[in-house]
Structures are given as structure tokens and as C-alpha cells.
Amino acid sequence: MSRTQAPHPSERRLPDEVQAELLRHMTSDGEPQSEQRIFVNRTLRMESVRCVGFDLDWTLADYQRLPFERLMFDLTIERLIEHHGHPAAVRDLGFRPDFPQRGLLIDKQAGTVLRMSRHRFVNLAYFGRERLNRDELKRLYRYEPIQPASGRFYHIDSLFELPETNIYAELVEASKTLPALAERGYPRLFEDVRAAIDWVHAAGTLKSRVLADTDRYLRRDRLLAIALLRLRLGGRPLILLTNSNWEYASGLCSFLFDGLLPGLESWRQLFDLVIVEAGKPDFFRHDRPFTSLDRDGEPKGEAKLPEWGGSYSGGCLEGLMRRIDLPGEQVLYVGDHIYGDAVTSKQESTWRIALIVRELEAEICARLELGRQSGRHIQLMRELGTLGHELDHVRDQVALGGSLAETTAAFDRADLEAWRQRFADVGRRHRRGLRQLAESAEQLDAAYHPYWGSLFKQGTSKTRFAGQLDSYACLYTARARNFAFYGSQHYYRVARDPMMHELEDLEADD
Ligand SMILES: [Mg+2]
């Protein structure tokens, strides 16, 4: 790394008390608990990672979901009534935090919320509170290929977007009985919600309420600070790169870190460079200047390149990489937004990505509890596969026998009758197996999520979200604090990444 300026801030020695605290939490006795593990899609040697960047919201700032979503919900509803002319009855919409899930799509044209597999197959959708039946799903999503990137669809890519999914579904439900909403139409209802949510974020209402009552919305976590300190070992610089503004970012970081560990007086000790209002994903795509900020976040002037130790707003990937002066693959970025943090940065750079998937803890717990039931489900699938093969053969035997009976005088019709009886019997068992499998799948899904099932699986396929996670994140874990359980130079190895034909061999070996 070229350093023509002042000594690099990460060269400062950690206070002795912090080093002592760090030592107390270091683990060397094997893997952490399942829900605290970091999972590996692509091998990553931390030895080769020379710089780590962090997003703030939902990455370092791990919000308390219920109070935070309730606040967003209430502020957005008031905005819809006061500014967008929605009827006062909208205040009665149901706050249903258990309804939305990350990775869903909103179909603005049809007024639905839907789940899609990575093969763009839609098997589940709700119109308001009503689950669509197979015929409706077929009518809406099976005749033409779905274009998820078109303006018709809105992607729920981060936890920030869950409340708007809740509100939109409730507005669609309410529009069935409220003419004032019905006459707006589904696309307009969606645009109203989007505009109201944007206002809640941009006007500062949400942020000022959070800053005024941080204890209610966030938790301080010593392990998070330890994770950052551990990653800094060996002089590896850390960067904070967030879309939030200075006032909010510094307020949150002060709450999260100041005075948290002995010797850690200020959050600024943790980061060697701070970039706020980054405007991701545009940060990765467009050339924009940095604005230098003083210690209080006041703008000091434009800067082409950020300096180590400084704080900036705006900027762009190109300027940041010129300052870092390393190949992109030696930078690890930790974020939670599948598109803004992972997809775009992967498309525009060679950064390695770790995605924070907060839902992973609940998924892993559900998966562990479902152990036996999952085994029974897999067994049902195998039995059904065998029955399906048998049904195929018997069906063709019946067809062949029927044809021979018509054309061959010597054909023994008793044989054909026996085949027909066997076909009826296998068909009955196959239909019973299909019903059992569907019931088992519903039970498993409900254990993960009451409306959508697992965040990662759609039947036997991966969900669209899981597909993106696979493709764009080298690592994924439930919380940024989990880096505290791994060495700063840990070798994250892919356990296995088999093709389907290899998987059969692995299952046979189990
Ligand atoms: Mg974020």
C-alpha cells in the first residue's frame, strides 16, 4: 500500500486494556455454535485480505426488529394520510411484521406479493391477505416469462423494506372495501407507499426518533467491537462505507461503540476511513467527488481522493480504490443489502463480499428442530421418485397392450387386464404419496415462516434470494459480530460445492 501521507492510522497500537479484552474472547477450540458460524460459498484466505469495509444499517447497526418496524410503519401510515390523501381508515391497517420476508417481489401491476425461485418460477403469491390458488398463479405468472428487472416488479432486498411490503399488502386488502383506495389502482398505491417511505427516511423523521431513543431500537454488543478489533489485527485498515448521513451514522456508532471496551473511547478509533452518504449502489458505478468533513461532520471542501484517517461524504469506488491502492480481491466488504452491497459491488469490482443475513439464526434453529421431520420428507421424496418410475413403465405397458389387443388376434387380454389393475394400484399410491409430500412440505415451510417458508428454499429449488446469495457473496453469516469467533487470518474454505450428479455419490456415501 502506498503511503505518501501521514502514518497509516491502523499502525497505531491498540490500548493495552483493549488487547487484554480481545485475548479474553479469542477462541481456538473449534467451530462456534451453528447460528454463529460464518458460511463459505467461495474460499477466502483472510491472509490475503488487506482491507475490510463495513456497511452500517442492518450490518453493524443490528436493529431491534419489532420496535423499529413499528416506527417505520406508523410514520409511513401518517404520511400516506397527510400527504398522499389516503383515507383516515388507513390507520386501521394491520401491523403484521410476520408477513413479509426478504427476497420477495411486489408485482405493482397485479397488486400481489410473490416468491420466486432462482429459475423465476412463482409458486406462492398473496393478493392482500388472500393466498392465490393454482389457477390464479398460472394466469398471472405461467404464460409469459417473468422479467424481474422490469418496472412491473419491486424487489425486497433488505430488512428496511419489510414494513413497506406489509403496508402495501394491507392497502391492497383494504382496497377491496374502500373505494378511495380502489380507484387509485395497484401501481399508484405502490408509488404512494414508496414515496411515503422515502420521505420518512429522507426527512429525518425516522432517524431523529431512533437517535432520540437508541436504547429502544439498538443493542450495544461488546462482541461486535471485538470482531472489528480482531479484524484490525496486523494493521489491516477498516472502512465504514454507509448511505446514512454523518449525523445519523456518527450518532449510531457513538451509541454502539463509545466506551464499550476499556480504552475504546470513540468509535472513530475503529475505522481508518469513514464515508457517509455514499449513495450505494451508484457509489460503485459513477465517478463522483468526495466531500471532506471535519470532526463535527461539517463539509470542508471537495476532495478527489480520500485520505486515511479522514471522514467524507459521497465519493465513488474509483477514488476509494486509488486511495486503498490494492487489487480489489484484497478488499472484503461486509454488508446486508443483497443488491446495493453484494450484487452491484460484485458487478463493478473484484471485492470479496460477506453478506449479513439476520434471518439465518431463526432458519438454523428451525432446521435443527425439524431434523427428523426433514429426514422423513426426504424419504417421502425418494419413495415418490421410485413410484413415479414404476408408474411411467406400467402406463406404457398398458398403452402398448391396448394397441396390441386391437391389432393382434392372439394377444392375451388377461395380461392387459393385469397391467391395468397394476396401473390403477400404482396410480393410487402415487397420488397418496403426492398428497403426503405436499402436506409434509407445508408443515416444514410453516416451521420456517408462517407465510413463505424458508428464506432459502422453494420446494426443492433455491429461492431467488438464495441464488443471489450463492452467486454474489463469498461468505454469509447472521451478524457482523460473528467475526469475533474467527481468527483475523482465518482460512474460510468451501466445504463442498457439488454438481447434482456428484451429490448422488455423496448421498450414497452418507
Ligand atoms: Mg445496510
pLDDT in tens, 227-256: 999 999 988 999 999 999 999 999 999 999
- Mean pLDDT for the stretch of residues 272-284: 96
Q: 7 lies in a domain?
A: no
- Pair 187, 46 in one domain: no
Does residue 437 contact residue 444 with C-beta atoms inside 8 Å? no
**Distance separating alpha carbons of residues 331 and 329, to the nearest angstrom:** 5
Rg of the chain over all Cα atoms, to the nearest angstrom? 27
Q: Tell me what pLDDT residue 8 has.
A: 53
CA of 23 to the centre of ligand 1 (A): 29
CATH number at residue 322: 3.40.50.1000
Whether 4 has a pLDDT exceeding 50, the answer reads no
CA of 58 to the centre of ligand 1 (A): 5
CA of 242 to the centre of ligand 1 (A): 7
Q: Tell me what pLDDT residue 28 has.
A: 62
* Residues 459-495: tens digit of each pLDDT: 888 999 999 999 999 999 999 999 999 999 999 999 8
* Residues 428-461: tens digit of each pLDDT: 999 999 999 989 888 888 899 999 999 999 888 8
For residue 275, the SS3 value is: strand
Which three three-digit cell numbers place residue 337? 443489502
Give the least confident one: 3-12, 40-49, 393-402, 425-434: 3-12
- 95-99, Cβ contacts within 8 angstroms, sequence gap of 24 or more: 95/69, 95/70, 95/166, 96/166, 96/169, 96/170, 97/65, 97/66, 97/69, 97/70, 97/162, 97/163, 97/166, 98/449, 98/450, 98/451, 99/126, 99/165, 99/166, 99/169, 99/451
**Distance separating alpha carbons of residues 199 and 140, to the nearest angstrom:** 32
Q: Which pTM value belongs to this model? A: 0.89
Q: 55 lies in a domain?
A: yes
CA of 364 to the centre of ligand 1 (A): 22
CA of 106 to the centre of ligand 1 (A): 20
- Pair 300, 326 in one domain: yes
- Pair 33, 106 in one domain: no
pLDDT band with cut points at 50, 70 and 90 for residue 55: very high
User: Could you say which of 214, 239, 263 is where a domain stops?
Assistant: 214
Provide, rounded to the nearest whole percent, the portion of the chain with pLDDT above 70.
95
User: Could you say which of 160, 181, 214 is where a domain stops?
Assistant: 214
CA dihedral 217, 222, 223, 225 (to 10 degrees): 90
CA of 419 to the centre of ligand 1 (A): 62
Q: 500 lies in a domain?
A: no
- Mean pLDDT for the stretch of residues 103-108: 97
Q: Which residues contact 378 (CB under 8 A, 6 or more apart)?
A: none
CA of 335 to the centre of ligand 1 (A): 6
CA of 337 to the centre of ligand 1 (A): 6
Whether 405 has a pLDDT exceeding 50, the answer reads yes
CA of 153 to the centre of ligand 1 (A): 21
- Pair 125, 21 in one domain: no
CA of 321 to the centre of ligand 1 (A): 21
Q: How many domains does the chain have?
A: 3
Q: Tell me what pLDDT residue 113 has.
A: 98
pLDDT band with cut points at 50, 70 and 90 for residue 506: low
Q: Tell me what pLDDT residue 336 has.
A: 96
Q: 492 lies in a domain?
A: no
Average pLDDT, rounded, for the chain: 91
- Pair 207, 75 in one domain: yes
CA of 466 to the centre of ligand 1 (A): 18
- Mean pLDDT for the stretch of residues 118-147: 94
Say which residue the cell 484484497 belongs to.
330
Q: 477 lies in a domain?
A: no
CA of 143 to the centre of ligand 1 (A): 36
CA of 55 to the centre of ligand 1 (A): 6
Q: Which of 158, 164, 191 is nearest to 339 (CA)?
A: 158
CA of 48 to the centre of ligand 1 (A): 25
CA of 62 to the centre of ligand 1 (A): 9
* Residues 28-47: tens digit of each pLDDT: 666 788 899 999 999 999 99
- Pair 125, 240 in one domain: no
* Residues 172-212: tens digit of each pLDDT: 999 999 999 999 999 999 999 999 999 999 887 899 999 99
Q: Give the domain extent around 143.
A: 65-214
**Distance separating alpha carbons of residues 229 and 224, to the nearest angstrom:** 9
CA of 37 to the centre of ligand 1 (A): 20
Q: Tell me what pLDDT residue 2 has.
A: 44
CA of 245 to the centre of ligand 1 (A): 13
CA of 505 to the centre of ligand 1 (A): 40
CA of 82 to the centre of ligand 1 (A): 29
**Distance separating alpha carbons of residues 451 and 447, to the nearest angstrom:** 10
Whether 285 has a pLDDT exceeding 60, the answer reads yes
CA of 64 to the centre of ligand 1 (A): 14
Q: Tell me what pLDDT residue 12 has.
A: 58
Q: Tell me what pLDDT residue 10 has.
A: 52
Which three three-digit cell numbers place residue 288? 463522483
Does residue 276 contact residue 298 with C-beta atoms inside 8 Å? no
Q: 388 lies in a domain?
A: yes
- Pair 265, 400 in one domain: no
Nearby residues for ligand 1 (ion, Cβ within 5 Å): 55, 57-58, 336
